[in-house]
Structure 1
Amino acid sequence: MKEQALSKKTKLVSRAKVQAFGGFLTNMVLPNIGAFIAWGLLTALFIPTGWMPNESLSQLVGPTIIYLLPLLLAYSGGRMVGGQRGAVLGALGAIGLIIGADIPMFLGAMIIGPLGGYVMKKTDELLEDKIPVGFEMVVNNFTIGILGFALMIVSYLLIGPAIEAANRLVTVAIEALVATGFLPILSLVNEPAKVLFLNNVIDQGIYYPLGMQQTLEVGKSIYFMVASNPGPGLGLLLAYSFYGKKVAKRTAPGAIIIHFFGGIHELYFPYVLMKPITILSMILGGASGILTFQLFGVGLVAGPSPGSIFAYLALTPRGNFIGVIAGVLVATAVSFFVTSLILKADKSADEDDDESLTDSIKKSKMMKEEGKKIGANYSSKGFSGQFKKISFACDAGMGSSALGASAFKKQLKNIGIDDIEVKNYRIEDVPKDSDVVVVHKDLAERFKLMNDTSRIVSIESYLKDKELESLIDEIKDSL
């Protein structure tokens, strides 16, 4: 029994880690979705097969997908791991990949960006407390310059070719499925993965990068549609609206609006978890939708995020509307039919069904939270006093604030305190959860306009100031 419990716990942790990875990918992609949609609209309108072919404006399409979009992904990934300095290093590494490859480096950017951020973060930790006072800006700038120089060369010569080879293998494997007509079998993986909140892993991590690459070549891609089709979820919720019991029947119509028009697919997950056998409906619905898309030879010009019917239609290129709408409708019909049979055959009491939905909603939330908890970056360092994070801010975030933070940290260390986080920031980037923000008196009012929650210590000198001395005394008294 104990071994079974341990095995179950191990599986939960493993699933949560995969969910956290999917969440990380989402957080890297999501801030840049607007740029991807902008590129998709350029493609839909101005390429030779677009709605408004324009030879001049179509020149924007290639450079945007080759340079801008991967750099945005790498910059975001680097920033998530290593802050602003990590973002710069991630972008430097990405340009090495881009120039050294013959394909759009989306997968590469999503690897090198966080890698650059990690390298920057660890380097800064290594140099912490070792930089002589007054040399912070010189060391910080040259550190990122040297690391960026090295990462660009390594990316160009080694990482880029390796990622390109791996990309070719994945592309060949999936294209083989397309060529043999077996692409619909991907639903065997897609639909269960989505219900387990792993949809971001497969979409942002696999299908969307492949879809962007194919779109550059042919102007559209079916890869954007193999896991994002809103049809299967719509069919399931429609079946519950007609043949569900009590709570499930009452709530399904509202879920339809949010799922189908809002694009939030997580709304139907609890209904599947309530009756796990309905995963068959989702698999058959997803597979039939993909098959329909294949038969019509249709695709989208960018990833529909969120997976709303509005996003689908907005990203449908000229001549593809009938096939796209047909794929959604067929998936809806198949899912509705199979789910209806399952619900009609269910002889359980209404009360059992209500309790089951409530439990499923709780379970669905718990599963999602598992991933969030694993992926969260907890920065607690065990300090029991009221001061955990002290931020020094200046206009650029590198010169005077770096000098002040370094000197203040050494003062704390001299009195035996080394578990308070003391860092320097550009005034606009100061974390909202800072317990104290140290800023020059000339910048204090400017800072208050952006942050009215943190305590502000206004100083005249970042090195030696009576307010800083008072803060040191206050920290000592709080121990």
Structure 2
Amino acid sequence: MTEKKSVRSRVQNFGSFLSSMVMPNIAAFIAWGVLTALFIPKGWIPNEKFANLVDPIIIYAIPILIAYTGGNIANPRMGGVVGAIATMGAIVGSEQKMLVAAMILGPLSAWLLKKIQDAYDGHVKSGFEMLVNNFVAGFLAFGLSLFAYVAIAPVMEGLLNILSTGVDWLVQRHLLPLVHIFVEPAKILFLNNAINHGILFPIGLDQVEKAGKSMLFMIESNPGPGFGILLAYMIAGKKNEKASALGASVIQVFGGIHEIYFPYVLMNPKLIIAAIVGGMSSTFLLQMMSGGLVSSPSPGSLISWILLTPRGSYLPTIIAFAVSTVVSMIVALPILRNAKNNGKSLDEATSDMKNTKANKTLAKRPTNTNLADTKKIIFACDAGMGSSAMGASILKKKVKEAGLDDIEVRNVAIPQIPDDADVVITHQDLTERAIQKNNAAYHVSVKNFMQAPEYDQLIADIKDARENNGPTSPQKEETINQASNNEEIETVVYSSDGEKITEDKKETNDSSVLKKENILLNQKFDSKEEVIKEVGRIMESSGYVDHEYTNGMLQRENEAPTHFGIGLAIPHGTNKTKSAIKKSGLVVLTIPEGVKWDDEIVKLVIGIAGVGDEHLAILSNVATKIDNEEIVNDIVENKSKDEIYEILTSEV
């Protein structure tokens, strides 16, 4: 079972990656679709001059945009540029549209560039980095463009010819509706992106160029089958199901968010038959009436369908939607009426749906355990010295405020996750590794350690479980120590190996950990890589680390970003590069103009190298004192070195 889930997860991730290259460029597809619908000879207002834009956009601009996007995702350090130039070789070397080639060459070229950059990083004389980077990227792009022209183009052309021939064969024999046997279940399992963007999308665009439209865009995006199932629930469902189905149907039809109806199918899996039959009826009619769209609708709503319908095809579009809705409803009604009462509830089905997604927020532990028994919550990150330490500090405070004094909260590196952990919290990019280390725990994955709603939800779930069931194991003997003034509860910090740090170990004012000269104000950078390299340079010159630690910080960013969504980033190395740390140390940079850090703008950077426990007390300060964007902005704009030093080193 684990192996099957792993395969499904890989397919989901692959589909999500394809989608991540296509979705940012949907506007380009829509622009091209509008040009096509209006100005080609079969368009609304044929115009020979404006129609000259159609071919260059689909042949050159869109594949290059996709390649650049994919390359930039895989390697922001010029990966997009190399991927775009490599794809140009495939474009020129083929008669086919190289959209699929762009999806391959973009990230592949960027990955090759990254491997080369990692190999020479740290071995280039200071001042020559830009020169070397540019020439390496340039020569790699040159070589890959030739390779794509000679090798990739003919292979991709042959593959697309085979796929197109297969689709034509299905169309000619009126068998295309059969694809819904695979597409509809795939949607419920969140595998639709791999099918839609990997196969139907590029072939559909090729058909648009030849015929001005393609029905392939309407197979996966059809809102009718889901709407029909929701209508059936409104008629034959239970009281709470009827009420929720009404609101869900509006989102399904006009918002195009198909996920909204997935839980209703999961409540009664036989309803997948209704979705399949509804989809098949729609595609059959589209074949008979020569329907189609000029581009891929995103999202797949009725509004998108109508807006992307070419002249002369409105009737097939509306009929296809209506028929798929009615047929799905008719098939679903007897299934619902004959359903047994012991089926899943809507809440249970929604939970199942969330756990099916690749980027899930909760991975449930075995059903023979109970959250009421929770005694140990573990925060884990790759090295156990940065993000997890801050997350642990935040949750400790929440646990204490909730009166759950018998629960121990600490942070460790993923390899050190204890076997007796009841709950394990990780960044969503690291959850799979954490599950492999301990698959018996209740796993919670978060996007942001600083501002995670999952913390409050977890505490609420534990309290609810205890109120309903009561803890089934003895109370923990050790209680949390009170602060010296007996009014506030002490913030307890744990080292990466799980040892509790007492007051005599909290060297909060140890200048060897944070030196005032390592607080640099009003800095300016063009990229997060520049920031990390500067942090590494300062750490190395201060005697904290060897040069290899910088590579570890860069690698850590690729595995799981260290920004916290509030203008703050805390770069640190991986578990493998802990050996490069000579002693604990921190570097603080303020960047008033901000620097792009993935999808966030970061203004305050706190670089960490932690070999012992000293830095964890400062991180606890960060977690409790710098917990929102307003505070970050105030520090960056108004605080001096002395004030920042005081904020970070004074006792919590």
Q: Which amino acid aligns with 2:280?
A: A
Match of 2:71 in 1: 78
Match of 1:3 in 2: none
Distance (Å, rounded) in 2 between the aligned partners of 1:203 and 1:446 = 40
In the alignment, does 2:332 pair up with 1:339? yes
SS of the aligned residue for 2:275 comes to: helix
Distance (Å, rounded) in 2 between the aligned partners of 1:419 and 1:205 = 38
Q: Which amino acid aligns with 2:351?
A: K
Query: Cα offset for 1:225?
Result: 1.0
Residues 269 and 403 (structure 1), Cα distance of their counterparts in 2 relative to 1, 3 Å cut: closer
Identity over aligned pairs, percent = 38
Query: Cα offset for 1:35?
Result: 0.8
Match of 1:364 in 2: 353
Distance (Å, rounded) in 1 between the aligned partners of 2:545 and 2:4 = 46
CA contact 1:37–1:302 (8 Å) conserved in 2: yes
Distance (Å, rounded) in 1 between the aligned partners of 2:554 and 2:357 = 32
Distance (Å, rounded) in 2 between the aligned partners of 1:247 and 1:166 = 49
Distance (Å, rounded) in 2 between the aligned partners of 1:39 and 1:231 = 26
Match of 2:113 in 1: 120
Q: C-alpha deviations, 1:111-146, integer Å up to 9, x for none?
A: 111101211221121122221222111111111011
> Where in structure 2 are the equivalents of 1:235-274 lying within 5 Å?
235-274=228-267
CA contact 2:524–2:593 (8 Å) conserved in 1: no
CA contact 2:528–2:595 (8 Å) conserved in 1: no
Runs of 4+ in 1 over 3 A off after TM superposition: 369-374, 385-388, 390-425, 429-433, 436-441, 448-453
In the alignment, does 2:249 pair up with 1:99? no
Distance (Å, rounded) in 2 between the aligned partners of 1:367 and 1:200 = 15
> Where in structure 2 are the equivalents of 1:50-449 lying within 5 Å?
50-346=43-339, 348-349=340-341, 352-353=342-343, 355-369=344-358, 381-382=382-383, 384=385, 394=524, 396=526, 404=534, 407-408=537-538, 410-411=540-541, 415-416=545-546, 418-419=548-549, 421-422=552-553, 434-435=569-570, 444-447=591-594
CA contact 1:16–1:370 (8 Å) conserved in 2: no
Higher relative contact order, chain-length normalized (CA < 8 Å, sep 6+)? 1
SS of the aligned residue for 1:288 comes to: helix
Q: Which amino acid aligns with 2:118?
A: E
SS of the aligned residue for 2:351 comes to: helix
Distance (Å, rounded) in 1 between the aligned partners of 2:595 and 2:71 = 28
Q: Which amino acid aligns with 1:435?
A: I
CA contact 2:381–2:388 (8 Å) conserved in 1: no
Match of 2:11 in 1: 18
Match of 1:454 in 2: 604
Residues 137 and 422 (structure 1), Cα distance of their counterparts in 2 relative to 1, 3 Å cut: farther
- Count of equivalent residues: 441
Residues 438 and 225 (structure 1), Cα distance of their counterparts in 2 relative to 1, 3 Å cut: farther
Distance (Å, rounded) in 1 between the aligned partners of 2:538 and 2:593 = 23
Q: Which amino acid aligns with 1:311?
A: S
SS of the aligned residue for 1:290 comes to: helix
CA contact 2:252–2:258 (8 Å) conserved in 1: yes
Q: Which amino acid aligns with 2:385?
A: S
CA contact 1:23–1:372 (8 Å) conserved in 2: no
Q: C-alpha deviations, 1:93-126, integer Å up to 9, x for none?
A: 1111111110111111011111012112211211
Distance (Å, rounded) in 2 between the aligned partners of 1:258 and 1:175 = 34
Distance (Å, rounded) in 2 between the aligned partners of 1:400 and 1:341 = 62
Distance (Å, rounded) in 2 between the aligned partners of 1:67 and 1:142 = 25
Q: Which amino acid aligns with 1:364?
A: M
SS of the aligned residue for 1:301 comes to: coil
Structure 2 length-normalised TM: 0.62
SS of the aligned residue for 1:102 comes to: coil
CA contact 1:17–1:371 (8 Å) conserved in 2: no
Structure 1, gaps ≥5 residues long: 1-7, 458-466
SS of the aligned residue for 2:114 comes to: helix
Of Structure 1 and Structure 2, the greater helix share is in 1
Q: C-alpha deviations, 1:266-310, integer Å up to 9, x for none?
A: 111111111111111011001000001000011100001100000
Query: Looking at CA atoms only, which structure, 1 or 2, has the larger radius of gyration?
Result: 2
CA contact 1:136–1:399 (8 Å) conserved in 2: no
Match of 1:463 in 2: none
SS of the aligned residue for 1:13 comes to: helix
Distance (Å, rounded) in 2 between the aligned partners of 1:364 and 1:181 = 33
Residues 281 and 412 (structure 1), Cα distance of their counterparts in 2 relative to 1, 3 Å cut: farther
Distance (Å, rounded) in 2 between the aligned partners of 1:341 and 1:365 = 27
Q: Which amino acid aligns with 1:170?
A: L
Match of 1:38 in 2: 31
Distance (Å, rounded) in 1 between the aligned partners of 2:11 and 2:63 = 23
CA contact 1:278–1:339 (8 Å) conserved in 2: yes
CA RMSD of aligned residues (A): 3.4
Q: Which amino acid aligns with 1:445?
A: P
SS of the aligned residue for 2:251 comes to: helix
Structure 1 length-normalised TM: 0.83
SS of the aligned residue for 2:160 comes to: helix
